[in-house]
Amino acid sequence: MSRRIRNFLLLAPAGAWFLVMLVLPLAVVIIFSFGERGPAGGYVPAFTLAQYANLPARWAAFRNTMMLAPTGTVAALVIAYPLAYFLAVRVSARWKMTLLVLVIVPFWTSILIRSYAWIFLLGGRGIPALLDLIGISDLRLINTPFAVLVGIVYGYLPLMVFPIYVSLDRLDKRLLEAAADLGARPWAAFVQITLPMSIPGIATGCMLVFILLMGEYLIPALLGGGKVFFVGNALVDLFLQSRNWAFGSAVAATLVIVMLVTVSIYMRLMARLGNGRDDVSLM
Amino acid sequence: MRLYAALVYLFLYIPIGVIALFSFTAGRHASQLQGLSVQWYGKALHNPFVMDALQTSLMVALISATLASTFGAMAAVALQGLRGPVRVAFDGLIYIAVMIPGIVIGIATLIALVTLFAGLNPIIAAVWPAGSAPPQLGLGIGSLVAAHTMFLMALCIIIVRARLSGMDRSLTEASSDLYATPMGTFRQVTLPLIFPAILAGFLLSFTFSFDDFIIAFFVAGSETTLPIYVFSSIRRGVTPEINAIGTMVLAVSLTVLMVAQFLLRRGANKGGGA
C-alpha cells in the first residue's frame, strides 16, 4: 500500500467528520445570520444585514460579557500566580507533582456540579447564615455579579495555575542566586527576573480562561439568577425559547468575531512582550 | 506562602466536600445535616428518570470516546511527518474545533442538522418502499454522539500528536534499519509507545462527554443526559438527591482522571529518554 493511500485512509474519517460536524454547521450559522426569521421561528432565506443591525438589542449581554470576562480573568490570575509560584519555586520535588495534580483535577470534573456547589454555599442558608452569626445580616450573595465572579474564579483557576507553573518551573534558579549575589533584594529579583520570565505562562493562562469565559453560559445561569447574563445566556434564549435562528446566528457569529479579534490583538501584544510562544498542554 | 497555598486548596475542595457531606444527610432538606444516611443515594438510584439519564450519558460517552480516540489516533499518525496543504487544513480545523465556544458548536450543530433533516426526510419518505413507515431523522443520541466526537477527536489528535513528537525518532529508524516493514514498525514500535496516549485521550474524552452540558442542551433533542437532568432539577430547587447525584458524578470523573493521569505519566517515562 503506498504511503499516499495509507494517509488518505487514516485521515478520511476525521476529515469527513470535521467537514460535516464543524465546517458545515459553522457555514450554516454564517448563512443564516444574513437571513430572516420565519413567522413561526426558524429561518427564511434572504440576504439582509438586518440581523446585524439589530445587535444593539442584545447590547447588555455583550457588555456584561466584555466586562466580567476580563475581570474574571484578572481575578483568576491574581489568585493563581502566588500559588503557581509556590508550586514551582518553593515546594520540594517530592510533593510538586501531587500538589499540581490536585490543582488541575477539578478542572476536568463537572463544571455544572462545581457551580451548583456555590448555589449551595452562597445561598441563604450557606455563607450568609454563617455571617449572620457574627452580626453581618441581610447580606445577599447569590444572584449577584459577585457570585458569578466567584463561580468563574472557582471554575477556571486550575487552567490559570498550570501554564504559569510551567513557565516558572522552567526558570533557571541560578539567575535568582546570581541576582542575590549581586546584592538584589528578593523583591527586586522578582520584579526584574521572575515576573518577566513568567510572562508567556501568564499570557497563555489568561488567553485560555478568557476564551472559555466568552462563551460561558452555566455559571451566569446558575449563580447570576437571570440578572447577570452573558452572550451565552442570550444565545440559549434566542435558540431554545424564541427560536429566532437568524438573529441568534448573527449574535453567535459576532461573538466568535469579537473573540477572534480580541485574542489576536492580545497575542500580538504578548508576542511583543515575551519571547516566542509557549507550548502548553492542559493535562 | 504555605498558608496562602493551603487557603487556595481549601477554596478548591471545600465546595466539593460540602456537596459530598450534605449528600449523606438523613433529613429531608438539602441545607440541613441531620444524622448520616445513604438514603438519598438509594432514592437517586431508584429514580427511573435518573437511571434513564445516566444510561444515556454513559452510552453517549462510551461511543463518542471510542470513535474520537480511534479516528483521532489514526489522524495523528497520518499527520505526523505530513507537510503541505492537507496538514495546514487539518491544523486549522483542529484549532477551530478547540477555539470555538462549546455553545456555538451546540447551536451550529442544532440548526445545521435540523435543516439537513428537514431536507432529507421527504426524500427518504419518497424512496422508501411502500408498506412500512419510513424512518424519521431527528435530533437524539446520534446527533449528540456526532457532535461530541467532532470536538473530542480534535482533543485526541492533540494528545496523541504530543506523544508522537516526544517519541524518540531513533526507535523507528532502528526498526526499519533492521528490515521491519512499515506496518511491522508501526505495530511493534509506534503503537505500543502511543497506546498510553490513546487510552488517556479515550478517558479524557469519556469524562468530557459524560460531564458536557452545553452541547447536549442543544443537540440532544428529546433525550435527557445526566447533566441536563441535574440542570433542570437545580432550576426546581436544591435537594439532597442532587447532592447525591453530584457526588456520584464527581466520583466517576475523579476515578477516570486518576487512571488517565497514571497512564500519561507512565507513558512519558517509558518513551521519554533515549
Task: List pLDDT tens digits, range A28-70.
Answer: 999 999 999 988 888 889 999 999 999 999 999 999 999 999 9
- Side-chain-side CA neighbours of B211 within 13 Å: the count stands at 29
Closest chain A residue to B77, measured at CA? A10
* Helix or strand run (H / E) with residue B61: helix B48-79
State yes or no: pLDDT of A280 exceeds 80.
no
Amino acid present at A215? G
Alpha-carbon span B201 to B194, nearest angstrom: 11
Instruction: Please report which confidence band the pLDDT of residue A281 belongs to, taking 50, 70 and 90 as the band edges.
Output: very low
Instruction: Look at residue A98 in the predicted model and tell me its pLDDT.
Output: 87
Q: Check residues A41 and B224 and name the one with the higher pLDDT.
A: B224
B102 vs A: CB within 8 A: yes
In a domain, A25, yes or no: no
User: Residue A38 falls within a domain, yes or no?
Assistant: no
A11 within a domain of the structure (yes/no)? no
Q: How many domains would you assign to chain A?
A: 1
Q: Is A21 within the bounds of a domain? A: no
Q: Report CB contact under 8 Å: A23, B227.
A: no
Please list every residue in chain A whose beta carbon sits closer than 8 Å to the beta carbon of residue B14: 121
DSSP secondary structure, A16-60, as one string: HHHIIIIIHHHHHHHHHTTSB--BTBB-B----SHHHHTGGGGHH
What are A257-275's pLDDT values in tens digits?
999 898 888 888 877 776 5
Domains (ranges, CATH) in chain B? 52-272 (1.10.3720.10)
Interface test with A, best of B18, B29, B100, B239 (most A CBs within 10 A): B100
Question: Can you tell me the mean pLDDT for B196-203?
Answer: 92
* Chain B residues near residue A120 by CB distance under 8 angstroms: 15, 18-19, 22, 30-31, 238, 243
pLDDT tier for residue A282 given thresholds of 50, 70 and 90: very low
Q: Calculate Rg over the CA atoms of chain A.
A: 23
> What CATH number has the domain bearing residue A152?
1.10.3720.10
Distance in angstroms between the alpha carbons of the first and the last residue of chain B: 38
Q: How far apart are CA B222 and CA B227, in angstroms?
A: 14
- Share the mean pLDDT of chain B: 89
For residues B148 and B212, what is the distance between their CA atoms, to the nearest angstrom? 9
More confident residue, A192 or B55: B55
The three-point CA angle B9-B14-B20 to 5° equals: 135
With beta carbons less than 8 A apart as the criterion, state whether A106 and A114 touch: yes
**A93 domain-assigned:** yes
Q: How confident is the model at residue A234 (pLDDT cuts 50, 70, 90)?
A: very high
Give the model confidence (pLDDT) of B132-154 as tens digits.
888 889 999 999 999 999 999 99
Q: State residue B207's pLDDT score.
A: 93
Residue A63 within a domain: yes
Q: Do A13 and B231 touch (CB under 8 A)?
A: no
Instruction: Please say if the pLDDT value at position B68 is more than 90.
Output: yes
Instruction: Name the percent of chain A lying above pLDDT 90.
Output: 56
Report yes or no on A267 lying in a domain. yes
Q: Does B150 touch chain A (CB under 8 A)?
A: yes
This model of the complex carries an ipTM of 0.89
Q: Is residue A29 part of a domain?
A: no
Q: Which of B227, B202, B265 is nearest to B56 (CA)?
A: B227
* Structural domain boundaries enclosing A105: 59-273
pLDDT of residue B166: 78
Q: How large is the greatest C-alpha to C-alpha distance in chain A, in angstroms? A: 78
Probe site for chain A from B9, B12, B232 (most A CB atoms < 10 A):
B12
* Position with higher pLDDT, A236 vs A138: A236
Q: Each residue of A179-213: pLDDT tens digit?
A: 888 988 888 888 888 898 898 899 999 999 999 99
Residue A277 has pLDDT above 70, yes or no: no
Distances in whole angstroms, Cα of residue A11 to Cα of each of A114, A229, B72, B259: 37, 41, 9, 28
A9: enclosing H helix or E strand: helix A3-18
